[in-house]
Structures are given as structure tokens and as C-alpha cells.
Amino acid sequence: MNTISINLLPFDTALKQKKQRKFRLVQVISTSIFIVLVFLASGAVSLRILQSQDIKKIQTEVKAHENDITAQKDKESGVLVLKSRLDIISKYIGKVSKQVSNYKFISEETPESVDVSSISVENNGSMRISVLATNSQALDGFIEGLISTEASVIFSKVEIETLSRGRDATYRANLRLVSK
Amino acid sequence: MKTQIKEFYGKYRVFIYPAVVSVASLIIIILVLIPQIQAFIDGRSTLEDANQKSKFLETKASELSNIDSEDLSKKLSLAVSSLPTDKDYGSIIGIIQRIGSDTGARIVSLSISSGAAEKNVGFSVQLTVIGLKESVDRMIENIENSPRIMKVSNMEISTSRTDGAVGADFVVNVFYEPAPKTLGSIESELPKFSQADEEILARLASTSLSTTSPSSPTGPSQLLPRGKANPFQ
């Protein structure tokens, strides 16, 4: 059955109702946004409070660990001193100085027929040696040894500073060996 | 007045209500929401840092409690006797005299100078020794390998053609390391000992036993010092 709707209200009242509906809509939207914001703000505050409690708890733990470490300060300083000392010791222990290794090399390389009358080793490992050989071949052999491949690893230069032959047919030489 | 306000509100409430709510919302956003979110973000990094610090300190505390004090003290004593905190002239004279007598080289003179050409070098000892070449060589070797850190610097060695004796003048650099003035902060990491460090300690322990243990005297050396008893007289 068809119905006919007729608005019998006066025009002013209809306009008033329309305005009222519009206001209600605006009111609902505004209030909803406000409530959401209040909810978010209270959520943020709660999270912050929880976080602060966590931080406080961990800071208490940190303090406890710090106290624990402070109580063992002696051990810690002992370990630090030991380590720093060992680092320095490791640079020297079991390592022969250049001066001594060069001196050893000469001692080992000197043949029976050659006498070393003096050796002077400088700070940088360079050496001056005075040798006495019973014959020229022995001296040759000794000098050959000093310019060998093995010796060239140690010495960069071998200089014959003086060479003389004595009345007794012995050869005397002063050599300077420049260390690498 | 009241009626006027009511009328005004009734007329413009569609604008006034949302405007008031917006202002209130803005106040909440500016005064509560933004500061709290900012503080929460900052708090996260603070919490992370505090967590890391706590874990680090916990590990450090546990490492420290695992260290055997007695063992550490022994090791420290070995290291300090090898590299003392001060010049310790007295002990070095004794060590050199012992090395001399152990090797059979006679120390003719021993003088100390406080020159410090190298880093960590406390002082230099000038030695004049005589003896067989083997003895002098062994003495040089023993000085180099001494558990007390010292190294031969300059050497002047001359041999006598008649009796094969060797006269040697050499300078020995003796090292030391002053005690550190500061010992790191509570947050500094505890140093780790490497295999090489353990080997050094084992070596120091073995050499110190053979050279300083009262139960294993190294012959007459400790009873009859060779060379000058007092190098300054």
C-alpha cells in the first residue's frame, strides 16, 4: 500500500531540527577525537612510567655490579699492571739484541786460521774488528765469508779500513761492518 | 548577560564546540602527548645503554671473581721481578755478579749510569770483564736471556794472544717500567691474557726458579761474589 509522507511541521522547526542534527554530528566527532587523544595521552604516560621503572631497576643492577667490581679493585689493578708489564716484557724476552746476534755471527764465521784481536760493537749493531791472519788465503776466506749471501742479510757494507803485512808474514786488517 | 551568552552559544555552537575541543586536544598534544613520546624514545636508548652496561659489568665482575688472587699475585711478582717499577740498582748488581760467576767471567769493574737513551731504559751498567772467550760469550748470552729484562748495548772485546783470555767492556741497558698512575675506569674492559703472555709467564717462572730459588743454589756464585763487591769504591 502506497504511503504519502507529509511534513506538517512549520518550516522553521524543520530548519531547527536540521541544525540540531548537524550539531550532534559535530559534537560526536569532536568528542570522539578528544577521547581518542586522552586515551593516547594516558597510554603514553603509562608507558613512560613503566619504562622509568625498568630504567631504575637496571640502574640498581648496574650499581650492584659496580660495587662488586669496586670490591675487587685490587684484582683488577693487578691484572692491568700484569698485562702492561707482559706487553713490554714480550718485546725483549727471548729476543737477542742486534749487537749480540751480529757479534755471535762473527764469532761463528771466524775460521781457525784467523784470530780476531778485537771487536767493537756499536749501538746500531755496526762493528769494527781487528783480525790477524796467518796467510792471505785465510784472510781472503774470512772476508769472503763477510760478503756472503748469509752475511749480506746482516751487514749492508764491509769496509777494509787498514790492511798490512807484518815481518812475521802475518796479515793484519781492520774491518768496519755496517749493520743493516 | 547570561541570556546573551546562551543565545550566542545557541547560534554559533556548531563552531564553538569543535573549536573548544580542538584547543583542548592541542593542549593535550603539546603538553602531554609529544613530551611523553619524546621521553619514551629517549628512554629507550637510555634503557638499552643501561642494559648493555649492566651486562658488561656483570661479565667483568664475574671474570674478576674467577681470578685466583694467589695465582695473580704470583704472576705479578714474576712480572715485577722481571720488569721492576723502579731502577732497583741493588738487585741488578747482584744479578750481574751472579751471571758473571756462573759463567766463569770475572767482573773487573761495574759502574752504573742513569742514562736513558731508549724508552723504558732505567739505567745503563758499564761492565769490564775478563775471562775465557767462552765464559765472556756465555755471560753476554745470559745477560740477554736474563729473566730481569736487560740487553747488551755496546761491546768492546779484545783478546790476548798469549793466554787466550778475553777482556770485554760492555754496556748493559737495564729496563724498568714505573707503576701506572691511573688504573682505568670501572667501565674499562679487563685485559685478556694471550697464549704468548702465558708462555712468557711460564718462562719467567722457570728461569726465576733456576736463578732465584733458595732451594736450588747455583753453585758458589751466591756465596763468593766475583768482581767488585762495591763498584763505587
* C-beta of residue A110 within 8 angstroms of C-beta of residue A116: yes
d(CA B47, CA B39): 12
Q: Please tell me the pTM assigned to this model.
A: 0.72
Give the DSSP per-residue string, A34-54: HHHHHHHHHHHHHHHHHHHHH
Q: What is the mean pLDDT of residues A9-22?
A: 81
Q: How many structural domains compose chain B?
A: 2
Helices (H), B155-233: 195-212
Q: Residue A123: what are its φ and ψ, rounded to 5°?
A: -55, -40
- Confidence label for B110 from pLDDT (cuts 50, 70 and 90): very high
Same domain flag for B153 and B174: yes
B145 is a domain residue: yes
This model of the complex carries an ipTM of 0.74
State the CATH number of the domain containing residue B137: 3.30.70.60
With an 8 Å Cβ cutoff, are A123 and B25 in contact?
A: no
Reported as a single tens digit per residue, the pLDDT across B26-65 is 999 999 999 999 999 999 999 999 999 999 999 999 999 9
Domain segments of chain A as ranges? 12-95, 98-179
A3/chain B closest Cα distance in angstroms:
35
Flag whether B189 is in a domain.
Answer: no
Shared domain for B82 and B154, answered yes or no, is yes
State pLDDT tens for residues B174-201.
988 888 777 778 888 889 999 999 999 9
Distance of residue B191 Cα from the nearest chain A Cα, in angstroms: 7
d(CA A108, CA B52): 60
| In the block, residue with C-alpha cell 659489568 | B57
Residues in chain B: 233
Q: Tell me how many helices (H) and strands (E) chain B has.
A: 6, 4
Spatial CA neighbour of A131 closest among A70, A174, A79: A174
Residue B218 lies in a domain: no
Q: Is the pLDDT of residue B220 over 50?
A: no
**Cell reading at A65:** 655490579
Q: Which residue in the set A45, A100, A117 is minimally distant from B32, CB to CB?
A: A45
Residues B33 and B136 in one domain: no
Domain-ending residue, one of B28, B47, B66:
B66
Tell whether B188 is covered by a domain: no
Average pLDDT of B13-35?
A: 93
Separation between Cα atoms, residue B76 and residue B88, nearest integer Å = 17
Tell me, what's the pLDDT at B68? Answer: 93
Least trusted range by pLDDT, from A53-67, A134-148, B28-42: A134-148
CB B119 within 8 A of CB B149: no
Lowest mean pLDDT among A69-73, A81-85, B55-59, B185-189: B185-189
Residue B226 has pLDDT above 50, yes or no: no
Determine the 3-state secondary structure of B106 from DSSP. Answer: strand
CA nearest neighbour of B159 among A167, A107, A140: A107
Per the structure, the complete domain to which residue B167 belongs is given by: 71-178+200-213
In this model, does residue B120 exceed pLDDT 70?
A: no
Q: Are residues B92 and B154 in the same domain?
A: yes
Q: How far apart (Å, rounded) are the C-alpha atoms in residues B196 and B19?
A: 77
Q: Tell me the pLDDT band of A136, cut-offs 50, 70 and 90.
A: confident
Domain A98-179 has CATH 3.30.1360.100: yes
Nearest-Cα residue of chain B relative to residue A38: B28
Q: Are B158 and B167 in contact (CB under 8 A)?
A: yes
A113 by DSSP, 3-state: which? coil
Residue B224 above 60 pLDDT? no
Q: Same domain for B100 and B171?
A: yes
Residue A68 in grid coordinates: 662488586
- Least confident window among A46-60, A132-146, B21-35, B179-193: B179-193
pLDDT band of residue A96 (cuts 50, 70, 90) is confident
In a domain, B4, yes or no: yes
Residues within 8 A of A (CB atoms), B 59-98 only? 60-61, 64-65, 67, 69, 72-73, 75-76, 79-80, 82-83
Q: Are B92 and B161 part of one and the same domain? A: yes
Cα separation of B148 and B79, whole Å? 9
User: Which of helix, strand or coil describes residue B211?
Assistant: helix
Quote the CA–CA distance of B233 and B228 in Å, as a whole number.
9
Report pLDDT for A83.
Answer: 92
Average pLDDT over residues A85-97: 89
B233 min Cα distance to partner chain A (Å): 28
Reported as a single tens digit per residue, the pLDDT across B135-184 is 999 999 999 988 899 999 889 999 876 677 889 999 999 988 888 777 77
Task: Say whether pLDDT at B215 is over 80.
Answer: no
Q: Does residue A84 register a pLDDT over 80?
A: yes
- Using CB atoms within 10 A of its CB, is residue B168 exposed (0-12), middle (13-18) or buried (19+)? buried
B55 and B99 fall within a common domain: no
Mean pLDDT of the A43-71 span:
94
* Domain C-terminal end among B66, B101, B116: B66
State the pLDDT at residue B201: 92
At A149-166, the pLDDT tens digits run 888 888 999 999 999 998
Q: Are B98 and B139 in contact (CB under 8 A)?
A: no
Partner residue facing B158 (CB), from A40, A47, A118: A118
> Among the three residues B9, B36, B66, which one is the final residue of a domain in this structure?
B66
Grid look-up 794472544 returns B161
Q: What is the pLDDT confidence band of residue B128, given thresholds at 50, 70 and 90?
A: very high
User: Per-residue pLDDT averaged across A118-130, rounded?
Assistant: 91
The whole-number average pLDDT for the span B111-131 is: 79
| Optimal mutation site among B16, B29, B53, B160, interface A, most CBs of chain A within 10 A | B53
Q: Same domain, yes or no, for B132 and B41?
A: no
Q: Is residue B87 located within the same domain as residue B47?
A: no
Widest distance between CA atoms in chain A: 158
B27 and B1 assigned to the same domain: yes
Q: Does B34 touch chain A (CB under 8 A)?
A: no
| Whole-number CA gyration radius for chain B | 38
